[in-house]
Structure 1
Amino acid sequence: MNSQEFKSNLVTKRPRYANSRIPLLEALANKGARSSEYSQFGPIYELYIYAMMTGIKKKRRLPLPPRNLTSDFLEIGKWKRDSSLVDFLLMVIFTQTDDLSIDWNELEDMEEDQLNKVISDVITLIEEYANGGLEYLENLYEKGELENSHYMFIDLYKDV
C-alpha cells in the first residue's frame, strides 16, 4: 500500500459518535431546517471537528460506548470537500504520536493488515478525542457556561 492508498483508505472511514451526544449536537448545530440555540454551526461535521480539537487541547480522550449505542458519522473525506482541511486535521491527529504509539518511519515497510490497524487506530483516536471534547462541551452546556457567539471555540481555547 503506497501513501495515496493509505490516505484513500483512511478518508473513506466513518468515525462514530455516542448516541447520547445527539441532543448536544442538535443544540449546537443547525441541522437542516431545524433551529438551534447556537447559530454558529452549519453542518454537524464542523462541530465534530471542533469537539475533536477540544479533546486534543484539553487532553481528553473518552472511549465510545458499545457499537449499538453509537452512530456513524460522515466519511472523513467528505468533511469540507475540495479543501485542505482534512489533510490538516489528519496531520494534527498524526502528531499525537504518544497516543498512536507507532513509528511513522516504519509505515512504508508494513504489511497491509498492519496498515489497516494503523488506520483503525487513527479513527479510534479521532472518535475518542471528539467524544472527550463533546463531553467537555456537554458539561459546559448543562451548566449554562457556553457563550452563544461566533467565537465560542476561540474563547474556549484561549484558556488552554
Structure 2
Amino acid sequence: MRRIQRAIDKEPIVKALTDGEHPCFREIFRLLIFAAMLGLKMKRREPLEKVDSGKSVPEIYFTNSPVWPGLIYLIAIVETSSTNVLQAHDEAENMLATIFEEYANGGLAFLKEKFGEAQLDVVSLIEIINELTLVPIESKPNLTDIAI
C-alpha cells in the first residue's frame, strides 16, 4: 500500500497534538487513526488539497497498531457499501488509502475548527469523545407508566 498522506493546512493541529512534553499522541499514525474515526463519526470525508509528500507516513508504521488492517477495511466497506475494496490490486489499495486519508483529514479539520492552534491535552480530547458518544438525559423517565 502507498504511504498515507496528510494535508499541509492541518499541520498546526497535528503539531498541537503530537508535540510537547506530554503530547496527546506520541506517534502521528495513532493521531491519524483517531482522526479518521472522528471524521467517520462526524461524516466528514474531505479531500486533501495540498500535501507534503515528505511528511507522508509509510504503511509499515501503522502495523504497530493491531487494529489498523481491520479498521481501514471496515471504513472502506462502510464508505463504498462494497467488498471490492478488499481485492488485492493497486486500484483497491489506493482507494483504501484515499478513503482513510480523507476521513482523517475531516477529523483533523473538525479538531482544527474546535481548538484552533492551541496546545491540546488529553482532557480536551476526552471531552470531545464524551460530547460525541454520551447520550444526554433529556428528561427524567415517567415511572408511572411502569406496571408493577
TM-score under structure 1 length normalisation:
0.67
Give the conservation status (yes or no) of the 8 Å contact 1:29–1:43. Answer: yes
Distance 2:131 2:57 in 1: 25
Give the conservation status (yes or no) of the 8 Å contact 1:14–1:75. Answer: yes
Which string of whole-angstrom CA distances, capped at 9 and with x for unpartnered residues, describes residues 9-64 of structure 1?
A: x3xx211111111111111113xxxx26x732211211111111111111101011
- Relative to structure 1, the CA distance from residue 25 to residue 88 in structure 2 (aligned partners, 3 Å threshold; closer, same or farther) is same
What's the counterpart of residue 139 of structure 2? none
Distance 1:48 1:148 in 2: 16
Which of residues 57, 74, 83 in structure 2 aligns to 1:74?
57
For the pair 1:123 / 2:97, whether they are aligned, the reply is: yes
Give the conservation status (yes or no) of the 8 Å contact 1:77–1:86. Answer: no
What's the counterpart of residue 68 of structure 2? 86
Structure 2 unmatched ranges of 5 or more: 136-148
* 1:52-71 matched pairs, under 5 angstroms: 52-66=36-50, 69-71=51-53
Distance 2:5 2:131 in 1: 24
SS in 2 for 1:16: coil
What's the counterpart of residue 23 of structure 1? 12
CA displacement at 1:154 relative to structure 2: 2.8
Distance 1:105 1:55 in 2: 19
Aligned residue pairs: how many?
A: 132
Larger Rg: 2
Give the conservation status (yes or no) of the 8 Å contact 2:7–2:105. Answer: yes
What's the counterpart of residue 109 of structure 2? 135
Structure 1 unmatched ranges of 5 or more: 1-9
- Relative to structure 1, the CA distance from residue 105 to residue 85 in structure 2 (aligned partners, 3 Å threshold; closer, same or farther) is closer
